Amino acid sequence: MRTRLLLIALPLALFGGCGDTQEAYSKARNSFTQQGMASYYARSFHGEETASGETFNQNELVAAHKTLPFGTQVKVTNLDNGRQVTVRIVDRGPFEPGRIIDLSKVAAARIDLLEDGIARVKIEKVNR
């Protein structure tokens, strides 16, 4: 009887441990951070169709990134002043070397990016 219980309990214990490992692995896989330069969209893009099919609105908290899936929420931190904003990826870009994200005008204003036009930033995927 003890042997039978051991044979049942051992696989359950082993698979139970795997569940925790998979959850940690899944969380690690979903994380994303990147540092580089941010810029913001020119006014002429307002009202144009984005790569996701949405109409770009410079008054919404949206952005362009080269690879993140459309709809991904990212927190953008201006590394020079610590200001932060959360934006949703709706487009592809920027295509200027060294830049990692293009922000809408309202998002750029929230992190004090408008005057200089570019800033050093850190972006982090927001898990929701």
pLDDT of residue 29: 61
pLDDT of residue 28: 54
Which residue stretches of the chain have pLDDT < 50? 1-26
pLDDT of residue 82: 97
Tell me whether residue 95 is exposed, middle or buried, using C-beta atoms within 10 angstroms of its C-beta: 0 to 12, 13 to 18, 19 or more: exposed
pLDDT of residue 2: 45
Mapped onto helix, strand or coil, the DSSP state of residue 26 is: helix
pLDDT of residue 19: 37
**Residue 80 half-sphere exposure toward CB, CA atoms < 13 A:** 10
